[in-house]
Amino acid sequence: MNTTIAKAETVQHDWYVIDAEGQTLGRLATRIAVALRGKHKPTFTQHVDCGDYVVVLNAEKVVLTGKKLDQKHYYRYSGYAGGLRATNARTMLNNHPDRVITAAVKGMLPKNRLSRQVLKKLRVYAGAEHPHDGQSPQPFPEHI
């Protein structure tokens, strides 16, 4: 038996589009993180970007269960003393729904240089329109 090691030059990156309307944030983010890393492919290699591009639509209609809309906070720090700002999930979902999904996916990726490269393949849009029709994205498969 031979083990296949993927090379960055030979990996084929597909484009997928997923509708986030009515989907739970954590479960959606898990599926997106798997597709971005390429763990659904038989040629997955940890140190190579084997993943696919993912376009997420209707980010403003994602569902958070329980009391997370009011109790979950997103933090950002300016670097200055007293510069820590906290925003709850309800405000973040109203003002920047794309950042909610991006933050959830980012938390599910490993903390290294490859994950920062992989996260650039995620495109999140608040509405139902996207400018990536030229790449002809396929519907997101259920098995991922």
Give the fold, CATH level 3, of 15-139.
Ribosomal Protein L13p; Chain: A; (3.90.1180)
Whether the predicted pLDDT of 144 surpasses 90: no
C-alpha distances in Å from residue 141, one per residue of 40, 45, 54, 79, 120: 11, 21, 11, 41, 21
**pLDDT (tens digit per residue) in 88-130:** 999 999 999 999 999 999 999 999 999 999 999 999 999 999 9
**pLDDT (tens digit per residue) in 5-24:** 899 999 999 999 999 999 99
Crossing angle (nearest 10°) for helices 25-37 and 97-107 = 60
pLDDT value at residue 4: 82
Closest listed residue to residue 16, CA positions, set 143, 142, 101, 136: 136
Whether the predicted pLDDT of 139 surpasses 80: yes
Model confidence at 1, pLDDT cuts 50, 70, 90, reads confident
C-beta neighbour count of 26 within 10 angstroms = 14
**pLDDT (tens digit per residue) in 26-85:** 999 999 999 999 999 999 999 999 999 999 999 999 999 999 999 999 999 999 999 999
